[in-house]
Amino acid sequence: MRGVVQTVIFLIVLATLASTIEPDRVKRCKNSKQCKNGCCLTKVQLRGKRGLDYNGGICGTFGEIGDDCLIATDGAIAPPIGTEWKCPCGDGLICDGSGQFTLPNIGEHGVCTEE
């Protein structure tokens, strides 16, 4: 019986530790300055014109050719300060707008292409 209790306690401790460890490729951030080769992507999910509680974001990479991107437009809802809805296109690339918008408006959707 003692061995069973020890095993259960060990599994509980192991599960607790595993839930607090993040993979190396996922880095939490509060702003883009904390992310190398990318930006801080907000985790806020919009509902109407209001966002849910903001508790930081995760680092993302700059867009490459063919990746989705966003073009900021007048009236677009801004993400929390220091974060982005999507990382901008990488060096030498531009976001070619498609003319499509989502509601709520977070900007014009596009694709990263060469300048």
- What token pair was written down for 97? 């707008």
How far apart are alpha carbons 47 and 26 in whole angstroms? 25
Going from N- to C-terminal start, the domains of the chain cover 25-114
User: How far is C-alpha 81 from the geometric centre of its chain's CA atoms?
Assistant: 13
What does the mean pLDDT of the chain come to? 79
What confidence score (pLDDT) does residue 80 get? 86
Q: 16 vs 70, which has greater pLDDT?
A: 70
The residues, any chain, with a CB within 8 Å of residue 89's CB and separated by 6 or more, are 62, 63, 64, 67, 69, 95, 112
Is the pLDDT score of 19 beyond 60?
A: no
How far apart are alpha carbons 34 and 40 in whole angstroms? 8
17-28: average pLDDT: 56
What CATH topology corresponds to 25-114? Lipase, subunit A (2.10.80)
Q: What is the pLDDT of residues 51-78, one digit of tens each?
A: 555 668 999 999 999 999 999 888 888 8
